[in-house]
Structure 1
Amino acid sequence: MLAGGFGSFLSPWSAQGIGLIPHGIAERTRALGNAAGAGAVMLLLDKDAIEKSLEIAVRAQTIELSTDAFFTKHYIANMAFESFV
């Protein structure tokens, strides 16, 4: 799923071609549009959605990736887009 304005105007095949998404999933990738706005509407209209979101919020944990050596190593190694030439 590609969300937001960026995702709405991005071809899944182009995203795959530059390594933004893994190879082999472009045909299964869809644009969601304004997913945050849709979620806000769901919360306004559906009492169950509010309760579910509160349950998720209670279980959510912060993970500080900037202090994780494994993450830092792999993040830096994978920052550049793949060469597609």
Structure 2
Amino acid sequence: MATAAASTSLEKSYELPDGQVITIGNERFRCPESLFQPSFLGMESSGIHETVYNSIMKCDVDIRKDLYANIVMSGGTTMYPG
């Protein structure tokens, strides 16, 4: 995140459907990072990784291994590289 905040070399231009070109810099990294650190948005809640962990820990010990083995991510945010 520090590199993304301080570097302009990570900027990328995108052409919108109406032909307008926009340049996005560190927003490319800050937006998806808010899934893991909601405090970036001023929210006092757990990130997705902590929420999954806490949910599994509330289940019976006998099934935790199976739950961890069957985590499936879906949706547009799964397409981010890294």
**Shorter-chain TM-score above 0.5:** no
TM bucket, shorter chain: under 0.3
Q: Which has the higher contact order (CA 8 A, sep 6+)?
A: 1
Give the alignment's TM-score, normalised by structure 1: 0.26
